Structures are given as C-alpha cells and as structure tokens.
Chain A
Amino acid sequence: MIPAAFDYHRPATVDEALKLLVDLPDAKVLAGGHSLLPMMKLRLVTPTHLIDLGRVPGLRDIRLDGGAVAIGAMATHWAVESADVVGRSAPLLAETAARVGDVQVRNVGTIGGNLAHADPAADYPAAMLALDAELVAQSPRGRRTIAAADFFTGLFATALTSDELLVEIRIPVQRGGGAYLKFPHPASGFAVVGVAAIAGVSGGTVERVRVGITGVGPAAYRSGAVEGALAGGPATPEAVGAAAEHAADGVDVNEDIFAPAEYRAHLARVFTRRALLAAFERSR
C-alpha cells in the first residue's frame, strides 16, 4: 500500500514548524508516524503536506525539571520505557510505555504523537490521567498547559487547536504505588480495556487514589466514581472490589465485534480492581 502523494517539510525549529502549520492548509504533523503512516497507506487520510518533527532539536529530551518529569513530545516509547528518570520518578509511566505496541513500534512511535492522535484504545492516556499529567502546547500565540483531564475530548479528538503543537509532557513526580494493567486485543495488542491506578495509604485509610481508564469510552477518562468510593476509607480488598464496580458508571461504553459493551464494562470493573490492588501493594 502506497500513501497518496504529498509535499514533505522538515523544519529545523519549533517556530519553523508552527509557521508551516499556519501557512499550509491540509498539513499533517509527522512524529514517529506509527499511527499516521498506516492511515495514509490505507488512504484514510490524504494530507497534501507533511511536517516532519524528526529533526527538531530538543523535542526528545527527558529530564527532571522541578517536581516533574519533563518529556519531549518526540521521545519514543522505548526512550520513555528505558529512561532512568522515568523509572525512578514515574514508574507507572515506564510500565505503561512498555505495553505500547511491540518492540519495533516502541523504537519509532512517540509519546507526543500517541497522545495527539488520541486513539480511544491507546495506553498512555490512562496513565496521563492517573498521574495528573500536564500537556504543554505551543502555537504562534505562545505556550499553554493543558491538564490531562481536559486534553482528551472525544474519539480521536483533543483540546489542541489547529495551530498548536504538543511539545512537552510534564508528569508530577509519582506519589504512591502505581500499576497499569490491560486486556490487549489478541491480534492488534491495543487495549480492549486498560486501567492505570495510583494508590497511597496513610494510617490504614486511603489517602490518595487515581484511576485512569482507556479503551472503554470514546475517550480515556478518570473514574471519579471509583475514586470517590475509596478515598478516606479503608484500603481493604473488599473496599477495592466494591469501588471497582463503578468503573464504567455513566460511560457510553464502546462496542465492537470483539467486545460487546456489556463484556467491555465487565472487563473495566475487573481490571480496575486488579490495577488498584496492585497499586496498593506497591504503595507499601
């Protein structure tokens, strides 16, 4: 399969990329290309211009910056998975990165491309929500920070405007234990259901709990119902099990040939319970 013809642009700076983005109608931004190129090969998208961020310096850096792990949008999944600073300061994110695609995909696919594409079955969005990530967007008008909870707005839709680039992902240093568990589609490896959980206990009661769920709704979401049922209460397996029952409450659950809505909602509850139990275990 061959993509439709396009003009290729290779900006040397973010500013150059932003200018191209404004000047060229019908342009697509090329990060690792592991979502975009398959869609172009199938001619689901036929952009007339590609703006390749592959040579923009600085966009692949991963570093500790203040109280956050700052990850350049062009960092590959493998870079995220293997960076010492991520393993130390945001182990939930390293665990999630290691579950994306396969070895070759992780060598090329990027965290920024993955998030901007906003596939409803992508792994990272669950971790972004559980970790209270901030996504930094840049446009000719300047920079702004978008909370993960405001970023995923629907099916393949984000809060980014057409003149904005996602340039950095900031993860506050992880507090509490974390776990990402997913039920992968047996052929594609995408998450039929994926749950990222953060949990912390103080004096026998739940002091901190975050649950991000992907694959279940049109966009990844934080489950306020699960969190609310646990916060301030006992951190017992019974309490976790009861809270996890709310994992799909109020969600317009996805349905496809592999997983009907009822089954998917069931998986959401099961994987929420398992992810929370693992996160509590790791918080000790």
Chain B
Amino acid sequence: MNLAITVTVNGRVHQQEVEPRLLLVYYLRETLGLTGTHVGCDTTSCGACTVLMNGQAVKSCTVLAVQADGSEIRTVEGLAQDGALHPIQEGFWEEHGLQCGFCTPGMMLSALQLLSRNPDPTDAQIRHALDGNLCRCTGYQHIVNSVRYAARKLREQNR
C-alpha cells in the first residue's frame, strides 16, 4: 500500500505517493531526479549517499522515504546559491579535494554538518567528522585541506 509523503528538498516542497520500502536515496535519485546523491556501497559504510535530514547527516541508503516524511532534506544540488559555489564546494575546487568525484557529494554534506556544529575544527576533528565517508582515490589529505579552507571562508563571511 502506497503512502503519501511530503518532503522539502533544497527548499522545494514535494508531495508523492511512495512504496514503504522505497529508500530515501532512490526517492531522491529516481523519483525527484536529483542524481547528485550517489549510491556507493549500499550497506551503510561508504557515505556516498550522505544527505542532511533536518540538518543532520544521514546515509540515505539506510533511511526509508516514509521515515523522511515531513522532514527537510539538503542534497549537494542545494549547496550552490544563485550560481555561486558554496564555500565547501569552493574549498574542494581550490584544494583539489576530489579526483574521481564519486564520494564528493557525501563528503561535502558531512563537512557541512561538521561546520554547523563546530565552525573552527582542528584537523583531527575534521578527520573524525569524515569517519563515515570513504574515498578510494586516497584523497583524504586534500579533503581535510578543503574543509579547512571552507571553515576559514565561512568564518570570514560570518564575521
């Protein structure tokens, strides 16, 4: 039996009828066409499918769309505003925080949660916050540099 859900994704309200077993990541990718959120391991390990649900980073391959009913979701498509890259995206650009790019959307959303909880993290805190995101291009040092860049930029903006 399908269920009606209302989910706000990147500020836009969506109403759909979905099958209860539909996973949030497939709702985003296939129902809404937002394919920036990737399916990696599909086993709650790699973090490629990370999105923010009510401000908290979650692995959307392990959340049912019906559990997200009534929530606010932010995906990588919601980072840039009015054509301008988000400071986190800018950080990954400037510091070469990606090679193949597959893990990048999840990395950036985990970074966004970190910087909302802690605007001035140490390198160790950045690494701890990215514990749930795997990069197979061995780009971790550049990813840490990218997040540090974004933290500095965001602090300057908010000064």
Instruction: Give residues in A with beta carbon < 8 Å to B.
Output: 1-8, 10, 30, 33-34, 37-38, 40-41, 50, 52, 54, 78, 101-105, 107-108, 187-188
Q: Is B23 an interface residue when CB atoms closer than 8 A count as contact?
A: yes
Chain B residues whose CB sits within 8 angstroms of the CB of A41 once the complex forms: 42-43
Chain B residue nearest to A54 (CB atoms) is B67
Contact of A101 among B21, B128, B132 (CB under 8 A): B132
CA distance A54 to B130 in the complex (A): 26
Chain B residue nearest to A40 (CB atoms) is B21
CA distance A54 to B19 in the complex (A): 18
Chain A residues whose CB sits within 8 angstroms of the CB of B62 once the complex forms: 33-34, 37-38, 108
With most chain A CB atoms within 10 A of its CB, the pick from B1, B3, B42, B57 is B57
Number of interface residues of B (CB under 8 A): 28
User: Beyond A7-B20, A40-B21: 4 further Cβ-contacts under 8 Å?
Assistant: A30-B67, A33-B67, A107-B56, A107-B57
CA distance A30 to B20 in the complex (A): 12
Chain A residues whose CB sits within 8 angstroms of the CB of B135 once the complex forms: none
Cβ of B70 to closest chain A Cβ, rounded Å = 9
Taking CB atoms and an 8 Å cut-off, the chain B residues in 41-55 that contact chain A are 42-45, 47, 50
CA distance A38 to B64 in the complex (A): 11
Contact of B57 among A3, A34, A40, A104 (CB under 8 A): A104
A8 touches B110 (CB 8 A): no
Q: Is B113 an interface residue when CB atoms closer than 8 A count as contact?
A: yes
B23 touches A103 (CB 8 A): no
A2 touches B21 (CB 8 A): yes
Show 12 residue pairs from A and B whose CB-CB distance is below 8 angstroms, ordered by the A residue: A1-B42, A2-B21, A5-B20, A8-B64, A30-B64, A37-B62, A52-B67, A102-B47, A104-B57, A105-B132, A107-B57, A108-B58
Q: Is B143 an interface residue when CB atoms closer than 8 A count as contact?
A: no
CA distance A174 to B110 in the complex (A): 33
Q: Is B131 an interface residue when CB atoms closer than 8 A count as contact?
A: yes
CA distance A38 to B3 in the complex (A): 22
Chain B residue nearest to A8 (CB atoms) is B20
CA distance A37 to B42 in the complex (A): 11
A34 touches B44 (CB 8 A): yes
